[in-house]
Chain A
Amino acid sequence: MNQMETSIFSRRDFLKVCSMAAAAVGLPASAADKMAEAVAKRKPSVVWLQFQECTGCTESLLRTGHPDAAQLILDLISLDYSETLMAAAGHQAEAALAQAMKDNAGKYVLVVEGAIPTKENGGYCIIGGKTAIDMLKEVAEKAAAIVAIGSCASWGGIPSADPNPTGAVGVGEIVKGKPIVTIPGCPANPYNLLGTVLQFATFGTLPALDDKGRPKFAYARVIHDDCPRRPHFDNGRFAQRYGDEGSRQGWCLYKLGCKGPQTHANCSLLSFVDTVGAWPIGIGAQCFGCTEKDLAFRVPLFQTVDVQGPTPPAMYTPVNPQAGSVSPVATGVAGVVGGALVGAGLAYGAKLAKTEDASEEKKP
């Protein structure tokens, strides 16, 4: 798939696509022009490798709407190798990969989908005679940026679930010494990938990453912080069993073992399949922490987790709330009345004493 003219769509349509893409992934409006400019010069080359995976991340990518897969592949990037999408097969496919690596050496974006098995010398995944380990190392060497899409590529994913018979690991275990962007999720949210790739394509930079290589724009917060059911959590409304009243009312699923409080992801903010609510909590199933190595496929579904670093809301009833009011009017009245009564008594007594003294003096 070489560089194609943008003759199929008008320039206006093309710019629209760029704006859409920019907006969808949180790039500033000015990026749309830059993107169009960069792409017009030369579309970035993307090599997509697939190992121990279910292809869910690719499928997820195919179901984006803005830009849709066609716009992405035809207008914005040059997808030079993708076992799922390329028309070629067999020797032709391998040749295409080699060509792409040679033509774009040092410039192509490597996207890895799936885990890499390490047991039996990587013999559990062999493509075109090469083990996944070797293939990855080879392609990664000349890549400008490496993006591990999905939990499998990020940290091992479902293949790595105990007892991990194949020794499945993420890209970071194989490729050392190079920055790797991980976009975990099962599947990963395609817009997280798009944002990363398009930023790289437009500006040549990668988004800010956390200590696990995850883009902060998507993985800085936990599901719990952005969950649409959070008000129910805050007000103590929980579903106790599937199908009970709380369940039907759409209440918080925390007691059913929702891993939302410890799962970093943005599923509620960027919808899958461009459908709001098309994610586990949206359909009433507890989040199982698919982005987190410590949770997904490891901690039982119904086991509850601690809320990480619970910061109490700003308004919370304190241990010793102020109670009881002191009315200034009553205070004033009491002061006046009390003072008057006491003062009157004292004054009366004093006066009486004085008249008594006076009358005593008068006595002979």
Chain B
Amino acid sequence: MTVSRRTVLKTLAATGAAGAAVGVAGRAEASHAAATLAPDAMGLLYDSTLCIGCQTCTVACQRANGMPVDKSLVTINGAPFDFPSDTNGYNKTVIKLFDSGERHAFMKMQCMQCVDPACTKACMLGSLHKVENGIVAWDPVRCTGCRYCQISCPFNVPKFQWHEAIPRIVKCELCRARVDGGKGSACAEVCPRGAVIAGKTVDLLATAKKRIAENPGRYYGEKDETGKVVPKIYGEHDGGGTQTLYLAPAGVSFQDLGLPKLTHEPPAQMAMTVQHGVYKGFIAPVILYVAAAVAIVRNLRKDAAEAHREEGKHS
């Protein structure tokens, strides 16, 4: 090895410094072990069997969060329609209708407040991050508007203000910062039928299970391992668990309501395993760099020596 110790030490020092700077943890969460539901995590329970589609929640959410009027003129089947067609940069929740002709059910869509969110893993500078009660919040200071959160969210929850010079990422944050003086989720506060209720997810799970126990035939179920159809609470395990839970009426699947079919694994799990496996402690890049530097220096010295010899021959 013709590389001087000094070269090696210089290289190591440089990369060590770089590694240390990057290694300072900011809002980086625990690496790739899937998070579990915290006892004080808050969420919503939406029972589609109780919803009457009055859309009071949509209106209340707008008011409680001080959202500007949604100017997007939507048409449904070619006719003008003055309600948002989806959550978007101006609406954090919306009621949608599933209508197959024979069955119909309403669906309230908003952020699922995942136990182990993909968006908080995707966000470059930790703008989307979990705050108290496990709520996933958006920090305008750190956001670059890259929209990687939109790519990574399996529910397509984060919405972007496409026509603003200073756009925001907009999504439900369980009314943690209401502008109308109220407290707690506005949608749950105004729902006339109690179709959406707010609370700690552990409590909401218990409520959902109680409803199922009292009236199992009312709810949509799926086959478990033994082949028996068991009423399902969406979000209990889906995608690693979500703090906002759903109940669907019998005969209407969660996919009919627009919720994706997910495994029990958080959606970002595989990506994190690969990424953290490769870059664990930043060891691999450092080694790669050192090896490359060593090889290059060595090769250049060899070439210089060869050129010297060639010159020597010809001179």
Contact = CB atoms under 8 A, between A and B. Distances in A.
A361 interface: no
B60 A236 contact: yes
Interface in B72-129: 74, 76-77, 79, 81, 83-86, 94-99, 104, 106-107
B52 A238 contact: no
Interface in B232-279: 256-258
A236 B76 contact: no
Contacts of B217: none
A319 B192 contact: no
A318 B192 contact: no
A36 to B, nearest CB: 48
Interface in A294-312: 304, 306-307, 310, 312
A275 interface: no
Nearest to B88: A323
Interface in A219-246: 233-238, 240
Contacts of A304: 192-193
Nearest to A322: B85
A10 interface: no
B59 A237 contact: yes
B56 A238 contact: yes
B193 A306 contact: yes
A317 interface: yes
B77 A317 contact: no
Interface in A308-341: 310, 312, 315-321, 323
A318 B193 contact: no
B52 A307 contact: yes
Nearest to A257: B192
A2 to B, nearest CB: 56
Contacts of B19: none
Given A236-B60, A306-B193, A312-B104, A319 B97 contact: yes
B54 A233 contact: yes
Interface in B23-69: 52-60
Contacts of A234: 54-55
Nearest to A319: B258
Interface string A263-307: 000000000000000000000000000000000000000001011
A327 B193 CA distance: 43
Contacts of B81: 315, 317
B190 interface: yes
Contacts of B59: 235-237
Given A255-B192, A321-B85, A323-B86, A315 B77 contact: yes
A362 B58 CA distance: 79
Interface residues of B, number: 33
Contacts of A235: 55, 59
Nearest to B258: A319
A236 B54 contact: yes
Nearest to A233: B54
Given A233-B54, A236-B54, A236-B55, A318 B76 contact: yes
Nearest to B99: A312
B52 A310 contact: yes
B258 A320 contact: yes
A317 B76 contact: yes
Contacts of B84: 317
A254 interface: yes
Contact of B76 (A233, A307, A315, A320): A315
A154 to B, nearest CB: 28
A316 B52 contact: no
Nearest to A320: B258
Contacts of B258: 319-320
Contact of A312 (B77, B94, B97, B256): B97
B79 A316 contact: no
A254 B55 CA distance: 13
Contacts of B55: 234-236
B208 to A, nearest CB: 19
Contacts of A321: 74, 76, 85-86, 96
Given A304-B192, A323-B86, A317 B97 contact: yes
Contacts of B98: 318-319
A236 B56 contact: yes
A151 B107 CA distance: 39
Contacts of A254: 54, 192
Given A306-B193, A312-B97, A312-B99, A317 B83 contact: yes
A315 B84 CA distance: 12
B99 A318 contact: yes
Interface string A74-106: 000000000000000000000000000000000
B97 A318 contact: yes
B256 A319 contact: yes
Contacts of B86: 317, 321, 323
Given A235-B55, A235-B59, A306-B52, A319 B190 contact: no
Contacts of B85: 317, 321, 323
Contact of B53 (A237, A306, A310): A310
Best-buried of A254, A307, A319 by chain B (most CB within 10 Å): A319
Given A312-B104, A317-B83, A319-B256, A236 B58 contact: yes
15 contacts: A236-B54, A236-B55, A238-B190, A238-B192, A240-B190, A304-B192, A304-B193, A306-B193, A310-B53, A312-B97, A318-B76, A318-B96, A318-B97, A319-B97, A319-B107
Given A234-B55, A236-B59, 7 more contacts: A233-B54, A240-B190, A254-B54, A312-B53, A316-B96, A318-B97, A320-B258
Closest 5 CB pairs of A and B: A236-B56, A236-B59, A316-B97, A319-B258, A321-B85
Interface of A: 233-238, 240, 254-255, 304, 306-307, 310, 312, 315-321, 323
